[in-house]
Amino acid sequence: MDLFGDYTLRLVALGSAILGATSGALGSFAYLRRQSLLGDAVSHAALPGIVLAFMLTGSKVPLVLMLGAGLAGWIGTLAVRLVVRRSRVPYDSALGIVLAVFFGVGLVLLTHLQKQPESAQAGLESFLFGQAASLLKRDVVAMAVLGAAALTILVLLWKEFKILSFDSDFAASIGLPVRRLDGLLTLLLVVAIIIGLQTVGVVLMSAMIVAPGAAARQWSRRLAPMVVTAALIGVTSGVAGSLLSSYVPRLPTGPTIVLVLSVIVVVSLLLAPGRGLLWRSLKIASLRTVPDLDPVLMHLYALSHQHPDDPDHGHPVAVIRTMSLPGANIDAALEGLASRGLAERTPGGGWAPTAIGRREAQRIIDREAGEGP
Amino acid sequence: MADGNRVWALEVEDLTVAYGDQPVLWDVDLQVPTGVKMAIVGPNGAGKSTLVKAAMGLVKPVAGEVRIFGRSGDGAEGQIAYVPQRATLLWDFPTDVIDVVTMGTYGRVGWIRRSGAKERKQAEAALEQVGMAEFTRRPIAELSGGQQQRVLLARALVQDAPICILDEPFQGVDAPTERAIIEVLDGLASAGKTIIVVHHDLQTIPEYFDSVLLLNVRAIDSGAVADVFTEENLRLTFGGRVGVLATSGTGEV
């Protein structure tokens, strides 16, 4: 029972690694584009496709079922777009509707099939939570080919997808076909999802899409390292989950992979330097004493209104301190305003807003008046 | 500027845009001469951002036509450098300053190909120009509002387009950044580029711009600041709730 001796285990681990790499890399883009729920909707929408593909062809060849899953998932994304464009239903609700309707139809079809006398349908329900042990060599080959194709397109159109994700208006302004690129990236996401359905299943597949990207983001400051890290996290979870479930009896592979992944996510959220919760709470503690500059500027502006004919009239630091939260480092805030040209020290030792500072303060007031509830 | 039959940098004719059944722009006509610095002003919801987006083909109009240097349709490609509203971007995106600025070269680099050393040089020069040279490798999530705006401006500089459109570039930036942006725009204008800025602050218009479009769903008036930026026109645009007037000089609101 080790990775190099056991043929089945080797196959399962390899399949899970392919699944982890593709869903990690492509899921990163879904995560960055705030489309995490899209993966959830697509994977659930794949279920009726799997069942229908079997009902129409009578075949359980994975490639046939994958094709059905991919078609249904793709139709699901089109349905989401249609609902958003033709109704007043917002995007997240549209995703929820499509997920529920497609998954519901899938379950109805599946239940109907299971009531049939012949047992040819046996095993289809394993697509709910995945059944890695059923992976054959031809399945892993199909996964590898699909995954390699998706990742190749991702690498070729790297800068186009990057700019689409970061600033789609700008992408359109330099003449990129934003709609078609968006459709292609979604299609690649569908491919990543159907690669994982047999191993992880429709219910847990969304975790494989979202989680590697979420964890990798904590450790990376640029896109390429993030996507590579996410793919590595996917591979690690896949292989570790396969190994664990083979050592521990009756531990299902798919859920175990997702559990390993969840541990990586939690550790990343807590510990990552710069972004981790632990790091941030340390940093916030050290910053607590310097207040935001805006409120201090507003106080100065309010004070300057008391001398409408002498806008440069200075006010002592003590007055501003009493107007602010206790313990705030007002001197540092005033120096900060001065360095931005918004306030200045007056000859009498007090502080006054500059002309630019007064304008900025008025602009903040206007903005809050215009955008308030 | 050619004598005789003059070609406008940007020409908008009978432009009408609607979101759903809500018209945001109504029969707008606009002619922007080459080399001007034009401000687009109007109240919230006047369609200012929509107008510039429609000019670049980002928004499909219900009716009307847009011509860039006399050409309609896809003639806009490479002609316009666009600085979107800072707040509409995802600043948590994992990238750094130089990478964002290099995006300005993607239009001419073309599909699939990567940007190289030449593009990087151009990006570095643009960062120098906006005073951000020492921030090259800084993740964009760690920039202040003013620094973010300078980075977007540098990206537009790298595009080296004859028309530069900026949407609210002064919103929420610090005073030195505001001055730096104005300096860069002045430089572009004296190099013969056409500058169009969606702008919020009426008080600075006579100082910063030479032409103005007053917009409130319809185009109220457009032309040289001296001719168009009048009390009467402002009242027509803002519906009488404006106390800021170019003539009063004190600037109290």
B103 vs A221: CB contact, 8 Å cut-off? no
Is residue B166 within 8 A of residue B38, CB to CB? The reply is no
Query: What CA–CA distance (Å, rounded) separates B232 from A249?
Result: 83
Q: Which pLDDT does position A327 carry in this prediction?
A: 67
- Among A245, A273, A301, the domain-final residue is A273
Query: What CA–CA distance (Å, rounded) separates A138 from A78?
Result: 30
Same domain, A298 and A266: no
Partner B, chain A 210-239, Cβ-Cβ below 8 Å: 217, 220-223, 225-226
Query: What CA–CA distance (Å, rounded) separates B28 from A275?
Result: 47
Residues in B closer than 8 angstroms to A163, CB to CB, are 103, 106
Same domain, A308 and A262: no
**Number of domain units in chain A:** 2
Q: Two tokens at A210?
A: 């979202």
Check which CATH number belongs to the domain holding A327 and give it: 1.10.10.10
B231: contact with A, CB 8 A cutoff: no
B58 vs A162: CB contact, 8 Å cut-off? no
Query: What single DSSP character describes residue B172?
Result: T
Count of A–B CB contacts within 8 Å? 97
Given pLDDT bands bounded at 50, 70 and 90, which one contains residue B162? very high
Chain B: closest CA distance from residue A125 (Å): 39
Same domain, A109 and A254: yes
- Domain with A357 in it: 293-371
On the question of pLDDT at B2 being above 50, the answer is no
Chain B: closest CA distance from residue A255 (Å): 30
- Model pLDDT for residues B96-126, shown as the tens digit of each residue: 999 999 999 998 888 888 888 999 999 999 9
Facing residue for A360 by CB, picked from B44, B114, B175 = B175
Q: Which pLDDT does position A50 carry in this prediction?
A: 93
Q: Is residue A131 part of a domain?
A: yes
Higher model confidence: residue B196 or residue A126?
B196
Chain B: closest CA distance from residue A339 (Å): 9
Contacts with A134 (C-beta within 8 Å, 6 or more apart), sequence order: A123, A126, A198
List the alpha helices (DSSP H) in chain A: 7-32, 36-57, 62-86, 91-114, 126-129, 137-156, 158-166, 168-173, 178-200, 205-219, 223-247, 253-271, 277-287, 293-304, 317-323, 330-339, 355-371
Chain B: closest CA distance from residue A360 (Å): 8
Mean pLDDT of A13-22: 96
Q: Is residue A133 part of a domain?
A: yes
DSSP letter for each residue of A237-267: HHHHHHHHHHHSTT--HHHHHHHHHHHHHHH
Residues in B closer than 8 angstroms to A34, CB to CB, are 90
Same domain, A266 and A310: no
Lowest mean pLDDT among A158-172, A204-218, A272-286: A272-286
Given pLDDT bands bounded at 50, 70 and 90, which one contains residue B253? very low
Given pLDDT bands bounded at 50, 70 and 90, which one contains residue B249? very low
Q: Which pLDDT does position B3 carry in this prediction?
A: 45
Report the 10 Å Cβ neighbour count for B4: 4
Same domain, A250 and A367: no
Q: Which pLDDT does position B195 carry in this prediction?
A: 97
Given pLDDT bands bounded at 50, 70 and 90, which one contains residue A368? low
State the ipTM, two decimals: 0.89
- The residue among A166, A174, A180, A228 with the most chain B CBs within 10 A of its CB, best to mutate, is A174
Q: What is the mean pLDDT of chain A?
A: 87
On the question of pLDDT at A319 being above 70, the answer is yes
Facing residue for B88 by CB, picked from A169, A175, A367 = A169
Lowest mean pLDDT among A19-23, A96-100, A340-344: A340-344
Contacts with A267 (C-beta within 8 Å, 6 or more apart), sequence order: A215
Q: CA A220, A225, A231, A233 torsion: positive or negative?
A: negative
Given pLDDT bands bounded at 50, 70 and 90, which one contains residue A60? confident
- Model pLDDT for residues A197-211, shown as the tens digit of each residue: 989 999 999 999 999
Check which CATH number belongs to the domain holding A216 and give it: 1.10.3470.10
On the question of pLDDT at A373 being above 60, the answer is no
Q: Is residue A239 part of a domain?
A: yes
Q: Which pLDDT does position B243 carry in this prediction?
A: 53
On the question of pLDDT at B154 being above 80, the answer is yes
Is residue B222 within 8 A of residue B211, CB to CB? The reply is yes
Angle at CA of residue A217, ends A214 and A223, nearest 5°: 125
The continuous run of DSSP H or E covering B99 comes out as helix B97-102
Same domain, A231 and A203: yes
Facing residue for A166 by CB, picked from B93, B111, B201 = B93
- Model pLDDT for residues B198-248, shown as the tens digit of each residue: 998 899 999 999 999 999 999 999 999 999 999 889 988 988 655 555 444
Q: Which pLDDT does position A82 carry in this prediction?
A: 92
- What length does chain A have? 373
Higher model confidence: residue B97 or residue A334?
B97
The pTM of this model reads 0.82
Higher model confidence: residue A348 or residue B161?
B161
Same domain, A365 and A253: no
Same domain, A322 and A262: no
Same domain, A267 and A308: no
